[in-house]
Amino acid sequence: MEIDRAPQRVTALPSWLLAQAAAATGRVVTDALRGVGAHRSHYSVLAALDERGPLSQAALSDTVGLDRGDMVRLLDTLEADGLVLREPDPDDRRRNRIAATRAGRDRLEALDTVIADAQADATTTLSAAERDDLVRLLRALLGA
In the beta sheet, which residues pair with residue 22?
A: none
pTM of the model: 0.86
> Residue 40's pLDDT band (boundaries 50, 70, 90)?
very high
Q: Which amino acid is at 28?
A: V
Which pLDDT score is estimated for 2?
76
Dihedral sign (CA 69, 70, 74, 76): positive
- Residue spans of the domains in the chain: they are 1-35, 38-115
> Residue 1's pLDDT band (boundaries 50, 70, 90)?
low
Task: Give which of 21, 23, 3 is closest to 135, Cα–Cα.
Answer: 21
Write down the CATH number for the domain with range 38-115.
1.10.10.10
Which pLDDT score is estimated for 96?
86
